[in-house]
Amino acid sequence: MELTNWRELSDQGPDLVPCLDFPGWRAAAGFAELADGVAVDACFLQFKPASAGPLAVCVDRWVAELAATGRPVCAVLGYCAGAALATRLADALGASAPPPIVVLFDAVTTTGDSMASQFTSTLESSAQHLTADELADARDLSEQLVAMYPDDLPRIAAALTDRYNQLMGAVADRLSLPGFLLKELTDAFTAYLDYLLLTGEGGFDMRTTTPLFLTSVDYEPPVEGARTITLDIGHDDLLRDPEVHELVADLLRGEHPW
């Protein structure tokens, strides 16, 4: 299957299961682990973040490519911030076909605070190569941006990207890093903030079906009264845990009360 907007995780059957999450290196498990562990006759796909929104244009592009495969979409899965994209994709699919099952794992809303938090946590990986003043100034900047422009996510993202690029340039000079490595670092951060901007356009209200929120032990759904299953599993292990794999397999087979 030739795909532009999606990457195949596993192909064990005709039905498609698109998964929405940012495909990056992290301690928490991703949809690749879930796809490997869920024993169902389906093809799991993970979307490829390509650019910032508008989200409606991106959703149309994702739907068109899925439709071009000629294969039905039986479920849409979303993780963390990507859950706010999964709902929009599922609604678009449900407008012209039977609505897919929607399962949202540890869903969170993208805000100025969460974007600033991601900025500071990303800098922690380079903290040993930054001065105390540089780190303090970066934290102050993120706090000021959120305080002054709490609802202006594009403005926050642009300022954080500029500061990250400046700091990584300083790190590259200190460590004599080659230009291509610096570009990889800055491009990766820009892509991640573009992804967060996209998720910030999404939401958890749905027109075509009711999503199921599947949460780890310390998470709560971002909406009140949501249909929820909470498991005694840590956030980092949610998508790799055998109990979750079995539950998702039952949902996709129609063997779990919906």
Q: What is the identity of the amino acid at 7?
A: R
Q: Per DSSP, which regions of 197-237 are E strands?
A: 212-215, 227-230
Q: What is the percentage of the chain residues whose pLDDT exceeds 70?
A: 97
Query: 28-41 pLDDT, tens per residue?
Result: 899 999 999 999 99
Mean of the pLDDT values across residues 245-258?
85
d(CA 84, CA 97): 21
Give the length of the chain.
258
Query: 167-217 pLDDT, tens per residue?
Result: 999 999 999 989 898 999 899 999 999 999 999 999 999 999 999 999 999
- The yes-or-no verdict on residue 228 having pLDDT over 90 is yes
CATH assignment, 6-109+203-253:
3.40.50.1820
Which positions ≥6 away from 85 have C-beta within 8 Å?
Answer: 20, 47, 55, 59, 78, 198, 199, 202
Query: 68-111 pLDDT, tens per residue?
Result: 999 999 999 999 999 999 999 999 999 989 999 999 999 999 99
d(CA 258, CA 255): 9
- The yes-or-no verdict on residue 141 having pLDDT over 70 is yes
pLDDT attached to residue 187: 92
- The yes-or-no verdict on residue 117 having pLDDT over 60 is yes
pLDDT attached to residue 59: 95
pLDDT attached to residue 127: 87
Mean of the pLDDT values across residues 221-245?
94
- The yes-or-no verdict on residue 133 having pLDDT over 60 is yes
pLDDT attached to residue 3: 87
pLDDT attached to residue 230: 95
Q: Are 102 and 211 in contact (CB under 8 A)?
A: yes
Read off φ and ψ for residue 186, nearest 5 degrees: -70, -40
Radius of gyration of the CA atoms of the chain, in A: 19
In sign, the C-alpha dihedral spanning 107, 212, 219, 10 is negative
Q: Please name which of 204, 136, 122 lies closest in space to residue 164, comparing C-alpha atoms.
A: 122
pLDDT attached to residue 256: 67
The SS3 call for residue 20 is strand
Note the helical H segments in 153-257. Answer: 153-175, 179-200, 242-253
For the chain, the structural domain boundaries read: 6-109+203-253, 112-199
In sign, the C-alpha dihedral spanning 148, 192, 30, 126 is negative
Q: Please name which of 52, 55, 64, 54 lies closest in space to residue 86, comparing C-alpha atoms.
A: 55
Q: Please name which of 212, 191, 255, 195 lies closest in space to residue 87, comparing C-alpha atoms.
A: 212
Q: How sure is the predictor about 233, in pLDDT bands with cuts at 50, 70 and 90?
A: very high
pLDDT attached to residue 177: 85
- The yes-or-no verdict on residue 251 having pLDDT over 80 is yes
pLDDT attached to residue 258: 57
- The yes-or-no verdict on residue 57 having pLDDT over 70 is yes
Q: Please name which of 227, 193, 198, 182 lies closest in space to residue 89, comparing C-alpha atoms.
A: 198
- The yes-or-no verdict on residue 257 having pLDDT over 70 is no
